Amino acid sequence: MKTLEYLSDPALRSIFLPGVIAGLAIALFGGMLSVFVVMKRMAFIGQGISHAAFGGIGVAYVLGFGGAVSAGAFGAQLGIVFLFCLFAALQIGFLTGGDPGRRGRRAQADTAIGIVLVASMALGSLLLHLAEKMQRSSTVSWESLLFGSIVSVGEADAWACVAIAGLILVTLFLLRRPMTFWAFDESAAAAFGVNTRLMRFVLLVLLALATVTAMKLAGVVLATAMLVLPAAAAVQFGSDAKRVCILSVVFALVAVMLGVVLSFELDWPTGASIVLVLAVIFALGRIKGLGSR
């Protein structure tokens, strides 16, 4: 099997193992965050934030940080994309922060999120084109931006991903009670004194950080899928909060491992393979739900 060869051979392991480590770290925080995204019906918000990263990448390339050869350049690129995603997240959060019962306001917010999404994609495309004309970067691989590339993840990237995963998970653990209460019943949480605005702000910041972290291995498509599909599949197998959280993380980890195996064995794009596995898990959950009716 190619998978065993890639991960056991010392020469190949140094190329492929960092991507596997980063993928598992992304699965851990993606699986947890997706629970809150799904419970708060923020899937479109997560998609808007992840696609906003295109604009941030375009800004980074125009400023000359596209190659990210050195640690400083990589840190600058990461910071620029994160700030761009954070700005988009806060704007989206402001637009969707109205009363859920006011359907007109919600419809306008959905329209605005769509505008942020496509405007960020268009801005990123334009800036990447300008960066190539200014000779500040080589030709950009759109496939890599959309679906990621496991061979582009270095050892430093992998450990940075692990550190950020730890930060996100620790934050969620410290805020687990008010955050879970807010996610499952916002009105009751507010009545019991939970600062719902703070919970929303923290979640948006974590989503922006998760999106930027997932971009290099995952690309935009997997960053979006990892924030929605694990929990969407988990709720098909039960509605208990603890059960949903555990299953969401398990499904995300299984999807990454199977996706990596498919990528190695069949020479498929890693990000696309993981997304397909997540989609299959979700479909199996739907079939189970229909069969139990």
Q: Is the pTM of this model over 0.85?
A: no
Q: Which residues of 142-178 are buried (b: 16+ CB within 10 A; e: fewer)?
A: eebbbbbbbeebbeebbebbbebbeebbebbeebeeb
- Of 97-111, 120-134, 178-192, 240-254, least confident by mean pLDDT is 97-111
Instruction: Quick: pLDDT tens for 171-205.
Output: 999 999 999 889 888 889 999 999 988 998 899 88
CA–CA dist 74, 78 (Å, integer): 6
The domain limits of the chain are 2-284
Most confidently predicted of 69-73, 143-147, 228-232, 265-269: 228-232
pLDDT top residue among 137 and 218: 218
Q: Are 219 and 147 within 8 A, CB to CB? A: yes
pLDDT for res 99: 45
Tell which residue, 193, 211, 229, has the closest CA to residue 83.
Answer: 211
Quick one: average pLDDT of 78-104?
Answer: 70
Output the average pLDDT for the chain: 81
Per-residue pLDDT of 222-261, as tens digits, reads 788 888 899 999 998 877 888 999 999 999 999 999 999 9
pLDDT confidence of residue 80:
85
Q: Give CATH for domain 2-284.
A: 1.10.3470.10
* pLDDT tens track for 203-221: 988 988 888 888 766 677 7
What separation, in Å, do the N-terminal and C-terminal C-alpha atoms of the chain show? 41
Does the structure show a pLDDT above 70 at 168? yes
**pLDDT tens for each residue of 19-47:** 899 899 999 999 999 999 888 887 777 77
